[in-house]
Structure 1
Amino acid sequence: MVQPFGARSSIKKRSVVIGGRKTSVSLENDFWEEVRNIAQSKDQSVVDFVADVIKGYEGHNVSSALRLSVLEHYRRKTEN
């Protein structure tokens, strides 16, 4: 059974080390799951994926950049 969107998606803060610098990222559990899935589909670690996202979304905070990246990923998939 599929849970309604957000039913299990409380925000959780995690720390990641990017380029030797520790940063904390607050994302809903659903977004973290998709970040892991996307990273795995690209044969990347989560840290490498996050580092790539940060490069592409300069000027955004890391949490927002990851949300936008997940959204963009699935928009592209639905366009094909």
Structure 2
Amino acid sequence: MSALHKRSLAIAGHRTSVSLEKPFWEALKEIAAGEGRPLASLVAEIDLARGEANLSSALRLHVLAHYRARAGTASLSPAV
């Protein structure tokens, strides 16, 4: 399992730190680059939409949803 990597970001005018595994940081960078925007912009959008969820969890779920949508399996619920 990959170790957590902590990054500091400015979101909505305040600094925050987020810990994610390196593959999730890499995936978020790829997603942001594919959308032609900075990583901080993508994280800020996810932050706004997350509700009460933990930001790290929301970022992981965003990555999962992105790649599932690309694979044609957009549902986040496990197969039964």
Report TM bin, short chain: 0.7 to 0.9
Residue of structure 1 in register with 2:23 after alignment? 30
* 2:11 equivalent to 1:18: yes
Q: Quote the sequence identity (%).
A: 42
| Letter matched to residue 19 of structure 1 | A
Shift of 1:44: 1.0
Gap regions ≥5 residues in structure 1: 1-5
Query: Secondary structure, in 3 states, of the residue corresponding to 1:23?
Result: strand
| Letter matched to residue 58 of structure 1 | G
Tell me the alpha carbon deviations over residues 50-75 of structure 1, each in whole angstroms, 9 at most, x when there is no partner.
00111221211111110000000011
TM-score (norm 1): 0.85
In structure 2, C-alpha distance between the alignment counterparts of 1:64 and 1:26, rounded to whole Å: 10
Gap regions ≥5 residues in structure 2: 74-80
In structure 2, C-alpha distance between the alignment counterparts of 1:61 and 1:15, rounded to whole Å: 16
Moved over 3 A (4+): none
Q: Give the number of aligned pairs.
A: 73
